[in-house]
Structure 1
């Protein structure tokens, strides 16, 4: 990796991490994750650093996720590299959540998948009028990870279930309502905010950000809680689709079509993961579960096929196997949650440096 793929800068009391692959929408590589983790570990121990900030280079967004083309290439030949990537990535997600200093995430523009993992676990999360947040994994035969099941399972009602199964985008108002963000700041003000953070003490960070914050736009999803909570209240994807089709609401009908086009295996495993996550007490426990499902899905035909259709050939016509929801029985779903020989182990240690 070119070291310039992560810009590491200290401005006064602020440690700034800028993801710097704008042509790839700052998608994360394995080495980028390691650089972020090492730098954050060092800054946590540095008394001169009062606050850490993460943002993305370019005009399009913070981060579009992990480098899924690299995952595709590895999966084709049985290379276990993605497992190592996920282990390091989930370790980083945990470090961000546990960070003892204010961790400010500027979630401007597109924030998807792994981009959510490096931002939404921070202590001060800023969205703008340009923000578009999504966990789009079911569209490539995968399941929300990087702590996505932890975050979405704790959204009000069934808003998180809707976002996960449809891979829908959340704007600033939706993100704040769903608990993925804290403050709404206009994008034009971010530069000045960063400058001011350079002279802020740790105790002043949240107050400073609030000075820039404005009333967020209303959450459109929240106005649709009635049919969302009713339809997604089922614990079976086929029943959710049936309820959506029968709801008599155009948005619900479109949601049913969207879910039906996703990987049947991925949406069923995702629903089970979200329901399990509600009963798990910590981010670490959810990441343990996500690591199991991620590793299991690496050998699933849908992950390779989904990435092929969306990123490699770009024909947008994935051929899922199995192709129908009814063909994905409980026994198939259960296999994705079975403990393996290679467990993550984050929940059994207090620090991520071991």
Structure 2
């Protein structure tokens, strides 16, 4: 492991995606560590092909380097919009969400993701709809889209809407990250396996992965108690009170009235995000509570195509990953300037 950062998995080759088939296991490693395993078109296609050819064996997905997957290649998407080529990100979203739906529908064998680092946006899309998500000490999860003028997509709000209380709403509106303890507490990950135990976890899947009980056997031998260091558990009741409102402005007001450092910081976080995107995020997660996954992912695509015409997405990516000045100029700039009728129009029938 010489030269490999702490809490990282080695690249298996120079390919963007590496496939190893051994015993009852199909092991897929996302392999763009310099880009934090941001999902390329080839990676999306490769994961889909692995599902098609697994033939009842367990699929194990992980990432090379210090990230599991930081999401889609948002820089490439924003540059395409700048160049007047919105059809490029539009086609990407269709392929990405199609893969998310394929993973959600895959029931023939376990689909296991080992979250060995950063899990954001599209990274959750290729993991969160599988059968098992296994966290570790390096796991950091977020749906940070509202920070870049976008909305939580990849079918994530289907799961966030089913998180107990309002913790899923907190994740969607703030874009803040949490670790393994919180991810397991809110039910978005299922077990905790330290990185030192990953080789043994994988070895059991090789031997037992063709059987339905193979994942349970691997977890029985390697899973450890979850560290008690989650921040959401400590503030769960306050989050439930403040985020129960159906208007973003009311949530912010409730947080400020609540007082305390965490509540005030959370209010400031929401106000710093793209106002239009935050209002879309709240409406999207509220509607998702009573909807099927298929309806949610269809709305994701409809929203994504509409957001290609909203200046905030390209501006947010510019500020975050192109110019890196961390000073996005949102339009509109404040929550009270957002046209709520336009929000309702965007959240309407995804077929329209």
- The TM-score, its normalising length taken from structure 2, stands at 0.92
Question: Residue 198 of structure 1: which of 203, 206, 217 is its match?
Answer: 206
Structure 2: how far apart are the matches of 1:75 and 1:32? Answer: 22
Other structure's SS at 2:207 match: coil
Equivalent-residue separation in structure 2 for 1:339 and 1:276 (angstroms): 11
**Cα deviation 1:251-277 (Å, max 9, x = unaligned):** 010001111011000000000000000
> Partner of 2:6 in structure 1?
none
Matches within 5 A, 1:219-234: 219-234=230-245
**Post-superposition shift, 1:223?**
2.3
Deviations 1:288-322 (A, max 9, x none): 11111111111101001000000110000000001
Partner of 1:71: 77
Deviation, structure 1 residue 340: 6.3
Tell me how far apart the structure 1 counterparts of residues 250 and 333 of structure 2 sit (CA, whole Å).
17
Q: CA RMSD in A?
A: 1.5
* 1:211-239 C-alpha deviation (Å, 9 max, x unpaired): 21111123431221121011101100111
Q: Please state if 1:97 is matched with 2:108.
A: no
Residue 81 of structure 1 is aligned with which of 76, 88, 92? 88
Contact kept? 1:292, 1:338, Cα under 8 Å: no
From 275, 279, 284, the counterpart of 2:286: 275
How far apart are the structure 1 equivalents of 2:167 and 2:188?
12
Q: What is aligned with 1:50?
A: 57
SS, match of residue 214 in structure 1: coil
**After the TM superposition, which of the residue ranges 210-219 and 228-237 deviates more from structure 2?**
210-219
C-alpha offsets along residues 56-106 of structure 1, whole Å, 9 cap, x if unaligned?
Answer: 011x12100000011101212143121211111111112212221111100
Distance in 2 (alpha carbons) for counterparts of 1:285 and 1:202: 32
Instruction: Tell me, yes or no, if the aligned pair for 1:102 and 1:202 is still in contact at 8 Å.
Output: no
Aligned to 2:341: 331
Query: How far is the alpha carbon of 1:339 from its aligned partner?
Result: 4.4
Q: 2:167·2:240 contact (CA, 8 Å) conserved in 1? A: yes
Q: Which moved more, 1:115-124 or 1:268-277?
A: 115-124
Unaligned 5+ segments in structure 2 are 1-12
Residues 270-309 of structure 1: matches in 2 within 5 Å?
270-280=281-291, 282-309=292-319
Aligned equivalents of 1:177, 1:146: Cα separation in 2: 21
Q: How does 1:10-21 map to 2 (within 5 A)?
A: 10-21=21-32
1:38 positional shift: 2.0
Q: Which of 216, 238, 262 is the equivalent residue of 1:207?
A: 216
> How far, CA to CA, are the matches of 1:86 and 1:203 in structure 2?
32
In the alignment, is the contact (CA less than 8 A) between 1:297 and 1:336 conserved in 2? no
**What secondary structure does 2:99 align onto?**
helix
Structure 1 residue aligned with 2:272, among 261, 269, 275? 261
Report the CA distance between 1:209 and its aligned residue: 2.9
* Shift, 1:3, TM fit: 7.9
**Residue in 1 that maps onto 2:140:** 132
Alignment match of 1:163 (pick from 160, 168, 171): 171
| Residues 15 and 52, structure 1, Cα contact 8 Å, conserved in 2 | yes
Runs of at least 4 residues off by over 3 Å: 338-341
1:162–1:232: 8 Å Cα contact kept in structure 2?
yes
Structure 1: distance between partners of 2:350 and 2:176: 31
1:235 alignment partner, one of 231, 240, 246: 246
Who is 1:122 aligned against?
130
CA contact (8 A) 1:53 1:103 kept: yes
What do residues 308-354 of structure 1 show as CA deviations (whole Å, max 9, x unaligned)?
Answer: 0001100000000011111112212023224467x8xxxxxxxxxxx
Instruction: Provide the aligned length of Structure 1 versus Structure 2.
Output: 335
Pair 1:143 & 2:143 matched: no
